[in-house]
Structure 1
Amino acid sequence: MTKIFSLEEISEVAKEILATSNLKKVITFHANMGVGKTTLIKELAKQLGVTNNSSSPTFSLVNEYESKTGEAIYHFDLYRINNELEAYDIGIDEYFYSGNWCFIEWPEKIPHLIPLDHAAIIINLLPNGKRELVLKNE
């Protein structure tokens, strides 16, 4: 799936992503700083029924949200991680193989720990201020 959108359309984009057939629950997010990874993840969480305020887990590495149905949703921001051992020490593999949603910012920090069976979202900022999103869910 490829989509061009403005930030005002992020709700519709999140709905389209979640409507993807056989969407994998571990999703990596690839984009430069400030392009909208956290904004999209917050909207995905909202669409999944998270009612409390979601935010970037920059300092805690992972935030856990609960949907209205009691499902756990994990949001990782690995920007400040120094090596894969740090991620392994927090039990990141247990999160990834829990069967729950895992949204991962800065996955390139832990390339050997990301499950092979995952989806990837790549977001690029276009010159007109819109975003190009590519979803790979193979």
Structure 2
Amino acid sequence: MESHKEAQLKGVFECHLCGLTAPYSYYGQKPPNTRSVVLLEESYVMKDPFTPDKDKFLILGSQCSLCNRRVCVGTECSLFYCKRFCLPCINENLQAFPLEIRQDLDKKKSHSKSHPSKNADART
């Protein structure tokens, strides 16, 4: 017989770009135990391990709307602009994005080049 904890686990999310892995308990737009939350995209979600409140959750990531690869919500891996896009797809289709998005991406690129040690271990 499965334990209660195992019954809640749906699988393991893995980011195609950075390799972040985490068990997820839900995939979709309406996480369980939430009152009126509807996410803007189909997302991989886990219960927030830092609180006993079962209404709290963390969004791990989603699928890129162009290449369908799983990517985390980290700014080094993806961007949400109406839909989720991985950075490689954004770079391939940069001219299709509004000027403000392109400018923000340029700022992030220049910031990451000037602060490499800060971004090297951003997930720990």
Q: Could you state the TM-score of these two structures normalised by the residue count of structure 1?
A: 0.24
Q: More relative contact order in 1 or in 2 (CA 8 Å, sep 6+)?
A: 1
Higher-Rg structure is 2
Q: Could you state the TM-score of these two structures normalised by the residue count of structure 2?
A: 0.26
